[in-house]
A and B are shown apart, each in its own frame.
Chain A
Amino acid sequence: MATTSKNLKGIYRQKKNNATGGITKSKSTKKASPKEAATFGSDITQPPALVSHGGALDLKDDFDEEEQVLRQFDMSMEYGPCLGMTRMARWERAQRLGLNPPKQIEHLLKGGKVKLDSLFDGRI
């Protein structure tokens, strides 16, 4: 089931070819179905890796910078345990106990489309 070496270029990071820098368009991501492979062109067992940003893998799925900041808030010990509380409730508790949690977190939670539950919610 291994892909032939012809397809590996699409999976692994390529060195930038142009010396001038800048973003290069990604190489062709089409995987030519190899005659010898047992999968006969099916992608179920090995879906094509998401390749963008000049050949780098996008492993972040639905997690962006805002979520990163909120996860740092979840993991910081001084505001107490994060399990079993919404992030807003935990922020408010920290505020009430005089721990001065960063205002930025409050704005993020009230503003945008961010996950209201902590990092481990539903997973533990």
Chain B
Amino acid sequence: MEVDSQKLQRKQSTYLSFDENFEIQKEVYRGQQYSQIYFARLHMMRTLLYSLVPNWKPHVPVCKVLGLELGKVCIVVGTLYKHMKLKPCILDEYSKERSATPLVKPHNFMHQDDYLVLEDESGRVKLSSAILSPSVYVTGVVVALLGKETSAGDFFVEDVLEAGLPPQIEQPLKSREDKYVVFVSGLGFGSSSANPLQFQLLVDHITGHLGDEEEQGLAAEIVHLVIAGNSIEISRGLLNGQNLDSKDQSRLSDPIKGLDILLTQVAASLPLDIMPGSNDPANFSLPQQPLNRCLFPGSAIYNTFRSCTNPHCFEIDNIRFLGTSGQNIDDLTKYSEAKDKLEFLERTLRWRHLAPTAPNTLGCYPFTDRDPFLIDSCPHVYFVGNQEKYETRLLKGSEGQLVRLICIPRFSETGVAVVLNMRNLECHALTFGTQFS
């Protein structure tokens, strides 16, 4: 019998990384506080908003907070601060009267008495308005406001200008072939809900070890795998400061070893990016630095293996991808509300800031001269990992920007990975089940 010796070739793509913006090796800590990063953020955003104001409301004077006059309509640009009654405060622990503060923290800290304050370097002013809803905004967003000072000393807001979607480099999408990028997050090796067989099935599918020629043909069109955080979950009981015996030491390293074995299979076959998440052995504050290559002795040898920062920004075939492992959106969920996670994603793009709640409620490195979370160029694909379910939407901007928003679900809980076609930015889910019904 003649053996068909024609091998299927995997498609290739170009890759460019823009992660050096998120790297902190060159930063030196000199005792600075977070006022520096807020100053950099306000300055960059204010310069941008001042350039947009003449198109929005021409002939209205612009002034600083200290320059507000009673009854005079003007535009003021500053950072929003949301005063939240239920937000946990370290000083509550020291207060003499132990009021009924619940032991279990609420999932969302919103309260109907929350109010917004606008702040710039000259001062702050309380905002009162019918149109500016405190449930939508969070501390750290920079906006331009049109309004006037009232006799009560508040600033009554009549209109809001957000920065809006950043400009996007146009990519001709028509003349392309089908090339797929697979996104997965929340693998959770080491957790009780993770089933290694599910990820093995995913790896087998991507590397072309599953299915007939047609399936393998589809798998050959996958050019990249992105793992968006929380690949490992180390049992908290082991991390209580006690010395570990050899059995516990192996429990500590087994998840990482198991992950490395599977990643070696992937790296041998196609390029992969692994990002750290909130449960991974990386630093806590954003931007999280790449996972150390020593953790992956098997897969790090391959040049297809890339350990990346969180947030992660890269380009494949000139299509720009930007995304995080979920901490920024999870924090927005705690301090504001929206109808779904995609709306939070859209808001961060309109505010041109990946993580506006950093450093207020989200751990962040105290940068002095820049804010690395500002989004200058609109991505074509904007993703967030470790969410409850798979959701996606195509967002159209006012200047012709087109962004595919993706919420990647936790693989250990759902068995769902996301596949994106770079030809038309269409998305579909890839579900792996191991139960026999």
Contacts and interface: CB of A to CB of B under 8 A. Distances in A.
Nearest to B35: A81
Interface string B22-46: 0000000011110110011001100
A84 B36 contact: yes
A96 B40 CA distance: 11
Contact of A84 (B31, B43, B122): B31
Nearest to A80: B39
The residue among A80, A98, A99 with the most chain B CB atoms within 10 A of its own CB is A80
Contacts of B366: 84
Contact of B121 (A78, A86, A97): A78
A93 B36 CA distance: 11
Given A81-B36, A81-B39, A84-B36, A96 B31 contact: no
A86 B369 contact: no
B269 interface: no
Contacts of A49: none
Nearest to B44: A97
Given A84-B33, A98-B47, A89 B368 contact: yes
B34 to A, nearest CB: 9
Interface residues of B, number: 16
Q: Interface size class for chain A?
A: 10 to 19
Contact of A81 (B30, B33, B44, B47): B33
A23 interface: no
A83 interface: yes
Given A81-B36, A85-B32, A86-B30, A93 B368 contact: yes
Nearest to A85: B368
B38 to A, nearest CB: 9
Contacts, number: 43
A77 interface: yes
A98 B369 CA distance: 12
B204 to A, nearest CB: 50
A77 to B, nearest CB: 5
B368 A77 contact: no
Contacts of B369: 89, 92-93, 96-97
A93 B32 CA distance: 14
Contacts of B122: 77
Given A85-B36, A85-B368, A89-B368, A80 B30 contact: no
B43 A80 contact: yes
Contacts of A97: 40, 43-44, 369
Given A89-B368, A96-B369, A98-B47, A80 B40 contact: yes
Contacts of A89: 368-369
Interface in B253-305: none
Nearest to B369: A93
Contacts of B47: 98
A43 to B, nearest CB: 38
A86 B31 CA distance: 11
Contacts of B121: 77-78, 80
Contacts of B33: 81, 83-84
Interface in A63-112: 77-78, 80-81, 83-86, 89, 92-93, 96-99
B368 A84 contact: yes
A31 B44 CA distance: 61
Nearest to B42: A80
Nearest to B120: A77
A78 B122 CA distance: 9
A103 B232 CA distance: 52
A22 B187 CA distance: 85
Contacts of A77: 121-122
Nearest to A78: B121
Contacts of A98: 47
A78 B35 CA distance: 13
B295 to A, nearest CB: 33
B436 to A, nearest CB: 60
B35 A83 contact: yes
A84 B121 CA distance: 17
A77 B121 CA distance: 7
Interface of B: 30-33, 35-36, 39-40, 43-44, 47, 121-122, 366, 368-369
Interface of A: 77-78, 80-81, 83-86, 89, 92-93, 96-99
28 contacts: A77-B121, A77-B122, A80-B35, A80-B36, A80-B39, A80-B43, A81-B32, A81-B33, A81-B35, A83-B32, A83-B35, A84-B30, A84-B31, A84-B32, A84-B36, A84-B366, A84-B368, A85-B30, A85-B32, A85-B36, A85-B368, A86-B30, A89-B369, A93-B40, A93-B368, A93-B369, A97-B40, A97-B44
Given A80-B43, A93-B368, 8 more contacts: A80-B35, A80-B121, A81-B35, A84-B32, A85-B368, A89-B368, A97-B43, A97-B44
Ordered nearest first, which 10 A-B pairs have the shortest CB separation?
A: A84-B32, A80-B39, A81-B35, A93-B369, A84-B31, A77-B121, A84-B30, A97-B43, A85-B368, A81-B36
